[in-house]
Copies of this chain bind each other. A is one copy, B any other.
Amino acid sequence: MTTIGIGVIGMGWMGQVHSRSYSMVSQRFPDSDLNARLVICSDNVEERAQKAQKMLGFEQSTTRWQDVIEHPDVQIVNIATPNSLHVEIVKAAAEAGKHIFCEKPVGRIPKETSQIEAIAREAGVLTFVGFNYRWSPMVMHAKKLIAEGKLGDLTQFRGRFFSMYGSDPMGLLSWRFDKNISGYGVLGDIMAHVMDMALFLTGPVKRVVSNSHTFIPERPKPIPGKGTHYSVGQPDDPKGPVTNEDYVGALVEFENGVRGSVEVSRTIFGPKNQFGFEINGTKGAMNWDFERMNELQLYLPTGDGYHDGFIRLVSGDQYPYHGNFNPGEGSGLGYEDMKVIEAYHFLKSVAEGEQTQPGFREVLDVAEVHDAMVRSWDSGTWEDVTSIAID
């Protein structure tokens, strides 16, 4: 059994998810002989660090993220802080030779992502990024079907991520709406997932034309000491400006000739967490939606014309990784199960000393498309996707 020491920085919800996911790998992938040792966690709020330590079973906790990096038993530094801290922490971790897991979009803006990617690359450490939706068994199966040519040559891709988290104009001006802390708005937050899925399933993007909009330009300011993320203000509360975008749309042309559209919004009604794709080829098509992550709609014409329609596949242990969680068919996985599969892949990568995907190279691929989108917001024209990698 290979045991890998884990240090987690930032013990909010996502830091907890990551910690728990590492712990679960030995149970969900018992044949892998991989084991995570939760060495140390940090949070600048001491109480949060201590609570997380106790709850999740870390050996130590700290308020200094540097302690995590410096700890000799930590092999993986897992970063779950606001985007604004990523550069500094990655730099320190890479210099210390630690392998790095970072949540997308890694940098607040594309250039920052390229800067971070270069730091890790030069240091030669292994990297991994939280594009967790890839790991849904039905998405993995979709990828497989494409790879096997079941859909023929791909022709069209449609992606969307619609969420309601910003729909209420009285929702507080949290860090998500602040460009200094988060960087771009829905571009980094949810378009990143759409673009990673597009690149994962369809291949490299050649060019894009895009627009963006902020539908709710100001929001009530949070009151210090109160919660922010999901809290709601009053109409008379003092307001501040939203400094990043609520909406991004784009037309996309891929290098292999596929055409399509991608669209994301955080100020929409109805979809709760509607991250989905529709992908079409010369021989068939598939649809998937995270709100029904345990299903895949598949269209494969049989030629007889009488029995052709979208087939509703229901997840089961014949699909990738499903059986690591539930036997048989029809007992669905949940959100965090995807994070466990994700954690497994990074532990495996570190155990084998081999860079795997999606690493910083893949998040840079996304950032390069984002960079073209942002240029298009200004130019109003199609923009080629070009390298923003730092030599």
A contacts, CB < 8 Å to B: 13, 16, 20, 26-27, 30, 51, 55-56, 141, 155-156, 158, 163-165, 169, 209-211, 213, 215, 230, 247, 249-251, 253, 257, 259-261, 263, 265, 267-274, 280-285, 287, 290-294, 297-301, 305-314, 316, 318-319, 325-337, 379-382
A-B contact pairs, 11 of them (CB 8 A): A249-B260, A268-B285, A269-B280, A270-B285, A270-B310, A272-B316, A292-B292, A307-B311, A308-B313, A334-B334, A380-B382
Interface centre among A260, A290, A312, A382 (most CB of B within 10 A): A312
| Chain A interface, >50% SS class | mixed
CB neighbours of A165 from chain B (8 A): 328
In the complex, what's the smallest C-beta–C-beta distance from A160 to chain B, in angstroms? 8
Shortest Cβ-Cβ A-B pairs, 3 listed: A273-B330, A272-B330, A334-B334
Choose among B247, B259, B273 the residue that contacts A211 (Cβ–Cβ < 8 A). Answer: B259
Q: Please, which residue of chain B has its CB at the minimum distance from the CB of A312?
A: B309
Q: Please, which residue of chain B has its CB at the minimum distance from the CB of A213?
A: B259
Expressed in whole angstroms, the Cα–Cα distance for A332 and B38 within the complex equals 26
CB neighbours of A312 from chain B (8 A): 309-312
CB neighbours of A51 from chain B (8 A): 30
In the complex, what's the smallest C-beta–C-beta distance from A295 to chain B, in angstroms? 8
* Residues A327 and B261 in contact, CB atoms below 8 Å apart: no
Interface centre among A156, A294, A301 (most CB of B within 10 A): A156
Choose among B163, B268, B381 the residue that contacts A280 (Cβ–Cβ < 8 A). Answer: B268
Q: Please, which residue of chain B has its CB at the minimum distance from the CB of A169?
A: B282
CB neighbours of A284 from chain B (8 A): 269-270
In the complex, what's the smallest C-beta–C-beta distance from A69 to chain B, in angstroms? 25
Q: Please, which residue of chain B has its CB at the minimum distance from the CB of A326?
A: B335
* Residues B141 and A251 in contact, CB atoms below 8 Å apart: no
Expressed in whole angstroms, the Cα–Cα distance for A267 and B153 within the complex equals 12
Interface centre among A13, A27, A270, A291 (most CB of B within 10 A): A270
Q: Please, which residue of chain B has its CB at the minimum distance from the CB of A19?
A: B27
Q: A20-B27, A280-B268 are in contact. Are A307 and B299 (CB under 8 A)?
A: no
* Residues A318 and B305 in contact, CB atoms below 8 Å apart: yes
* Residues A309 and B313 in contact, CB atoms below 8 Å apart: yes
CB neighbours of A333 from chain B (8 A): 334-335
Expressed in whole angstroms, the Cα–Cα distance for A215 and B153 within the complex equals 11
Interface centre among A274, A301, A309 (most CB of B within 10 A): A309
Q: A55-B26, A330-B272 are in contact. Are A298 and B305 (CB under 8 A)?
A: no
Expressed in whole angstroms, the Cα–Cα distance for A36 and B108 within the complex equals 41
* Residues B251 and A249 in contact, CB atoms below 8 Å apart: yes
Q: A269-B280, A326-B334 are in contact. Are A263 and B158 (CB under 8 A)?
A: yes
CB neighbours of A257 from chain B (8 A): 213
Q: A20-B27, A306-B318 are in contact. Are A155 and B267 (CB under 8 A)?
A: yes
In the complex, what's the smallest C-beta–C-beta distance from A287 to chain B, in angstroms? 7
